[in-house]
Structure 1
Amino acid sequence: MGIVKIDEELHEELRLASKAMSRSINAQAEHWLRMGMLAELYPDKTYQELTRMLLGAHSSTIRKILHEFEPA
């Protein structure tokens, strides 16, 4: 584990977002980092598609549920 220095204003935004999303500050930062990395790797994907990618990567049950709702 390392320490990342960020701007005070960004840290405040992170703190507010973490409360709104019921996540710890670290979990919120990790979420933003993952989404940012995916957005750079897959610039053609929407936020919803990137979220599905994250969810699908962590749970076979979630993958099954998402597959049921995909358009034919």
Structure 2
Amino acid sequence: MGIVNIDDELHEEVRKAGRIMCRSINAQAEFWMKIGMIAESNPSLSFNQIMRQQFAEAGLDAKNYMGTL
């Protein structure tokens, strides 16, 4: 594990988003980095397509959860 220095404003955005998504600051930053890496490697995929792919790789069917929102 290492330390990443980021701008104070971005850190505040990570903190806010993490609170909304019930993630720690580190977990939120890691999520954004992971999705960003996948998006850069697959520029034709939308965010929703990336998330469906991640759910499938985890063995979850996202359609099963759509009615809970």
TM-score bracket relative to the smaller structure:
0.7 to 0.9
Aligned residue pairs total 64
CA distance in 1, matches of 2:5, 2:62: 37
Can you list the C-alpha shifts for 1:22-60, whole angstroms capped at 9, x where unaligned? 111111001000110011000000110011122222x22
Partner of 1:16: 16
RMSD: 1.7
Runs of 4+ in 1 over 3 A off after TM superposition: none
CA distance in 1, matches of 2:37, 2:51: 12
- In the alignment, structure 1 segments of 5+ residues that lack a partner are none
Three-state SS of the structure 2 residue aligned to 1:19 is helix
TM-score for the superposition, normalised by structure 2: 0.83
- Percent identity of the aligned residues? 45
Partner of 2:29: 29
CA distance in 1, matches of 2:48, 2:12: 25
- Give, as a single letter, the amino acid of the residue that structure 1 aligns with 2:15: R
